[in-house]
């Protein structure tokens, strides 16, 4: 069974790594920013650098916040590119700009290394239970080779195109999620201000055309005043900035995305950057001077 280097053990990477260990894979783990003693206690081997993780592994998985972090981990000093062997496979599961994925993929190809961009959707709960949606860009034969590994972390693993296509798909996902949460927040603020119990509104509409996975996941959190992050507002800001940058490069107007981005920026300014993105409702509550909560 392949030896796996795992770089990035934050909110998402930590449970993903744990699921691979449970599946019997040997992991070599490293994170510049977080402690990972709990992962080592489960049987992983801790290493001292990104380079060391790569030198020990057949497959290297990266799960970091944004494009600069991935570039540094792969192409920087003591990075993956310095330690990796020809024929190895790098799977970047971070959500970054598609252009950055192509840049990293080209640099690794020059060393005889295969690359997939494979961002995920589902947040911490689905990372924990191994049911993430994983959208993959890269060569079909390489995808098929590592799919058994990805299947241990996700319930939906789909090849969507060449390198960069995974992150294009993730940007589309993040646009839809942000706009959906905003729409739900706006609608439930209106119904609450009108004096209708938001729980009853939820029960009445969740089975109809307005129903969605987003509504089912976020309305219970909102009603319970629970904004503990599964996916932080500051990370959604990062994703929408990548979406806006990519859209502008391609000449694609995205006015609704820009509007929600400003809402997220306002929430960040109000001190809610570390809240779950369901806290988009706080912006509407502030404007309407009412709270959407259980009665």
For residue range 136-166, list pLDDT tens digits in order. 999 999 999 999 999 999 999 999 999 999 9
Q: What is the pLDDT of residue 295?
A: 80
- Give the separation between CA 167 and CA 239, rounded to whole angstroms: 10
Q: CA torsion sign, 13 to 235 to 118 to 222?
A: positive
Per the CB < 8 A criterion, the answer to whether 90 and 139 are in contact is no
Q: Which of 18, 102, 126, 170 is catalytic?
A: 170
* pTM of the full structure: 0.92
147 catalytic? Reply is: no
- Whether the per-residue pLDDT at 275 is higher than 90: the answer is yes
pLDDT in the model for residue 123? 86
Q: Given this model, what pLDDT does residue 105 score?
A: 98
Confidence at 1, pLDDT banded by 50, 70, 90: low
What confidence tens digit (pLDDT) does each residue in 165-210 have? 999 999 999 999 999 999 999 999 999 999 999 999 999 999 999 9
Q: What is the pLDDT of residues 26-72, one digit of tens each?
A: 999 999 988 899 999 999 999 999 999 999 999 999 999 999 999 99
CATH numbers and ranges of domains, the chain = 3-162 (3.40.50.720), 168-288 (1.10.1040.10)
> In the prediction, which pLDDT does 230 show?
83
**Predicted local confidence at residue 27, as pLDDT:** 98
């Amino acid at each position: 069974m392949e030896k796996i280097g795992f770089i990035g053990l934050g909110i998402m990477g930590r449970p993903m790594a744990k699921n691979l260990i449970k599946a019997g894979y040997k992991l070599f783990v490293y994170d510049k920013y977080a402690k990972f003693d709990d992962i080592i206690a489960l049987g992983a081997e801790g290493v001292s650098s990104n380079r060391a993780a790569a030198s020990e592994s057949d497959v290297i998985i990266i799960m970091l916040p944004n494009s600069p972090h991935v570039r540094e981990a792969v192409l920087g000093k003591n990075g993956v590119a310095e330690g990796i062997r020809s024929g190895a496979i790098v799977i970047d599961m971070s959500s970054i700009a598609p252009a950055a994925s192509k840049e990293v993929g080209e640099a690794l190809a020059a060393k005889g290394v295969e690359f997939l961009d494979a961002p995920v959707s589902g947040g911490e709960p689905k990372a924990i239970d191994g049911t993430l949606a994983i959208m993959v860009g890269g060569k079909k034969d390489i995808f098929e080779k590592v799919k058994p590994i990805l299947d241990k972390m996700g319930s939906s693993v789909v090849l969507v195109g060449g390198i960069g296509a995974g992150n294009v798909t993730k940007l589309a996902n993040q646009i839809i999620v942000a706009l959906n949460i905003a729409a739900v927040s706006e609608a439930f603020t209106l119904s609450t201000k009108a004096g209708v119990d938001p729980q009853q509104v939820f029960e009445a509409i969740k089975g109809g055309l307005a129903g969605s996975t987003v509504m089912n996941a976020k309305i219970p959190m909102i009603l319970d005043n629970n904004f503990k992050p599964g996916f932080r507002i500051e990370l959604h800001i990062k994703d929408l900035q990548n979406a806006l940058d990519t859209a502008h490069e391609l000449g694609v107007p995205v006015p609704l995305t820009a509007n929600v981005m400003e809402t997220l920026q306002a929430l960040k300014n109000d001190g809610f950057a570390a809240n779950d993105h369901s806290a988009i409702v706080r912006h509407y509550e502030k404007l309407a001077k009412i709270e959407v909560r259980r009665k």
